[in-house]
């Protein structure tokens, strides 16, 4: 898994930033392709850079998040592999598409913890303001003192406001399933992704405070949670068919 992640050195010294508290604004050592922009969207609680990639110039934006739970490392590897594929073959991204990819939304959790939380002990995927919200419990279910109390969740909010995505796909582990939010458009996206990947379609979760629930309630656009089969593996071959269509000619509005 980490062999793939290390390859991101060519587009942004990603591994250095994962393992340090420094936030580097220095140019990358290898030229970044013109269709790809690297951004530092902000810093984690511990001051680590939260980085992302803007790929393509189209008007239909798809936002993809990995490792909002730090112990779900395979999600970072999956999105790293997607970036590598696009760098190798830029034509994979349709002219009408723009991808905004944050492979590691919770770097402190990824590096320093063995549970779902950030450096403050908050489960970031319960820290978003939704119609229903509560503190939940302790440990991995603590949602924080209030919605958007954490810099990492505020960064996701700001990215959504900046790019106005047509859809949000949040990658998690482990469940081998695709779980929609409540709307018909979210269910259509999730059903389509499940069919393409072979993951189970599972619509019985009803968590509030999540990034996907907040996105749907705020924008009215589709959002889904894709659960990989294992914490430490990317499931690249399973997800590849759906991801290739999503970044290609498929229009979210036509699902």
Percent of the chain with pLDDT over 90: 76
Query: Which of 25, 227, 245, 254 does the annotation list as catalytic?
Result: 227
Q: What's the pLDDT score for residue 95?
A: 94
State the burial class of residue 176 (Cβ atoms within 10 Å of its Cβ: 0-12, 13-18, 19+): middle
Q: Which of 156, 42, 175, 178 is nearest to 100 (CA)?
A: 156
Q: What's the pLDDT score for residue 85?
A: 94
Return d(Cα 167, Cα 221) in angstroms, integer. 6
Q: Which has more pLDDT, 11 or 184? A: 184
**Residue 136 pLDDT grade (very low, low, confident, very high; cuts 50, 70, 90):** confident
State the burial class of residue 146 (Cβ atoms within 10 Å of its Cβ: 0-12, 13-18, 19+): exposed
**Residue 139 pLDDT grade (very low, low, confident, very high; cuts 50, 70, 90):** confident
Query: Looking at the predicted structure, is the pLDDT value of residue 2 above 80?
Result: no
What's the longest Cα–Cα distance across the chain? 47
Q: What's the pLDDT score for residue 32?
A: 61
Instruction: State the pairing for strand pair 97-102/49-55.
Output: antiparallel
C-alpha radius of gyration, the chain, whole number: 17
Query: Looking at the predicted structure, is the pLDDT value of residue 23 above 80?
Result: no
- Mean pLDDT on 29-56: 88
Q: What's the pLDDT score for residue 173?
A: 95
Q: What's the pLDDT score for residue 122?
A: 96
Query: Looking at the predicted structure, is the pLDDT value of residue 28 above 70?
Result: no
Q: Is the peptide bond before 174 cis (omega within 30 degrees of 0)?
A: yes
Q: Which has more pLDDT, 30 or 58? A: 58
Q: What's the pLDDT score for residue 56?
A: 94
Residue 146: active-site member: no
**Residue 115 pLDDT grade (very low, low, confident, very high; cuts 50, 70, 90):** confident
pLDDT digits over 200-215, tens only?
Answer: 999 988 889 999 999 9
Averaged pLDDT of the chain: 88
Q: Which has more pLDDT, 139 or 254? A: 254
Asked whether 167 and 252 are in contact (CB, 8 A), the reply is yes
Query: Looking at the predicted structure, is the pLDDT value of residue 18 above 60?
Result: no
The dotted CATH code for 2-18+34-97+105-254 is 3.40.630.10
Q: What's the pLDDT score for residue 191?
A: 98
* 3-state secondary structure labels for all residues of the chain: CHHHHHCCHHHHCHHHHHCCCCCCCCCCCCCCCCCEEEEEEEECCCCCEEEEEEECCCCEEEEEECCCCCCCCHHHHHHHHHHHHHHHCHHHCCCCEEEEEECCCCHHHHHHCCCCCCCCCCCHHHCCCCCCCCCECCHHHECCCCCCCCHHHHHHHHHHHHHCCCEEEEEEECCCEEEECCCHHHHHHHHHHHHHHCCEECCCCCCCCCHHHHHHHHHCCCEEEEEECCCCCCCHHHHHHHHHHHHCCCCHHHC
């Amino acid at each position: 898994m980490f062999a793939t992640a290390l390859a991101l050195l060519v587009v942004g010294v990603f591994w250095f930033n994962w393992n340090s508290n420094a936030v580097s604004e220095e140019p990358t050592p290898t030229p970044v392709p013109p269709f790809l922009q690297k951004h530092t969207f902000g810093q984690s609680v511990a001051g680590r850079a939260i980085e992302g990639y803007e790929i393509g110039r189209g008007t239909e934006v798809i936002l993809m998040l990995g490792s909002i739970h730090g112990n779900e490392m395979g999600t970072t590897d999956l999105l790293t592999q997607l970036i590598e594929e696009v760098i190798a073959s830029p034509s994979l991204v349709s002219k009408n598409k723009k991808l905004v990819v944050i492979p590691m939304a919770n770097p402190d959790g990824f590096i320093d913890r063995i549970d779902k939380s950030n450096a403050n002990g908050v489960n970031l995927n319960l820290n978003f303001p939704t119609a229903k919200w509560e503190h939940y419990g302790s440990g991995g279910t603590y949602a924080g003192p209030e919605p958007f109390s954490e810099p990492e969740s505020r960064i996701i909010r700001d990215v959504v406001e900046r790019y106005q995505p047509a859809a949000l796909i949040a990658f998690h582990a482990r469940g081998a399933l695709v779980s929609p939010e409540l709307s018909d458009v979210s269910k259509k996206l999730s059903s389509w992704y499940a069919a393409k990947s072979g993951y189970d379609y599972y619509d019985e979760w009803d968590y509030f405070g999540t990034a996907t629930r907040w996105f749907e309630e705020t924008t009215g656009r589709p959002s889904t949670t894709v659960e990989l089969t294992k914490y430490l593996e990317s499931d690249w071959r399973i997800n590849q068919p759906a991801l290739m269509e999503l970044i290609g000619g498929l229009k979210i509005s036509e699902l």
